[in-house]
């Protein structure tokens, strides 16, 4: 009986511990330099998502209502290199990742979460949106398309 409880506990723990990793393991990167190289090589924009993934309600809402929607995912796959710059309270991060995220937040003068910054392949800032984007994935994609068309 104890073995069954242990196995059940381990399975439940794995589900809870892997859930925050689901986004990071998808199309989202967290290494800014690698992402910038990929954006330049593939002639795509770099979308930086400054988030508090495990505590920020507006970040979770933005992720659920825009970033996790199939319209956005399809658009991003063709046009963007996605970077999550996370500022969690409970989730563990390496000191290097924490330092990188803090330096980028300082560089782009991030005052709150979520904040979206879009860069070209050379690292030039094209657009910054501070806060929750209320108009849904279609309007968000339309804004990104305006940047592509100059």
CATH of the domain at 67: 3.40.30.10
Specify the pLDDT at position 1. Answer: 54
| Helix segments in 1-150, DSSP class H | 2-18, 21-24, 32-42, 57-62, 70-79, 95-107, 136-149
Answer whether residue 4 shows pLDDT above 50: no
Q: How far apart are CA 34 and CA 120, in angstroms?
A: 14
d(CA 15, CA 11): 6
Q: Is residue 63 part of a domain?
A: yes
pLDDT value at position 81? 98
How many domains are there within the chain? 1
pTM of the shown model: 0.83
What's the mean per-residue pLDDT of the chain? 88
Structural domain boundaries, residue 56: 21-149
- Tens-digit pLDDT profile for residues 19-44: 444 444 468 999 999 999 999 999 99
Q: Determine, yes or no, domain membership for 9.
A: no
Please check the confidence at residue 92 and state whether its pLDDT lies above 50.
Answer: yes
Using CA atoms, how far apart are residues 43 and 81, in angstroms rounded to an integer? 10
Instruction: Using alpha carbons, select from 22, 49, 41 the residue that is nearest to residue 104.
Output: 49
Residue 127 within any structural domain of the chain: yes
User: Is residue 125 predicted with pLDDT exceeding 60?
Assistant: yes
Nearest-angstrom CA–CA distance, 73 and 95? 29
Q: Is residue 138 part of a domain?
A: yes
Assigned domain for 3 exists: no
């Amino acid at each position: 009986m104890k073995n069954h409880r242990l196995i059940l506990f381990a399975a439940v723990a794995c589900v809870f511990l892997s859930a925050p990793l689901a986004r990071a393991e998808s199309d989202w990167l967290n290494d800014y330099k690698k992402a910038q190289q990929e954006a330049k090589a593939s002639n795509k924009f770099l979308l930086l998502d400054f988030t508090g993934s495990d505590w920020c309600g507006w970040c979770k809402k933005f992720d659920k209502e825009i970033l996790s929607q199939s319209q956005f995912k399809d658009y991003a796959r063709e046009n963007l290199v996605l970077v999550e710059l996370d500022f969690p309270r409970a989730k563990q991060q390496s000191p290097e990742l924490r330092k990188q995220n803090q330096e980028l937040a300082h560089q782009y003068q991030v005052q709150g979460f979520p904040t979206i910054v879009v860069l070209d392949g050379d690292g030039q800032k094209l657009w910054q949106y501070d806060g929750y984007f209320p108009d849904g994935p279609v309007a968000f994609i339309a804004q990104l398309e305006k940047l592509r068309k100059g």
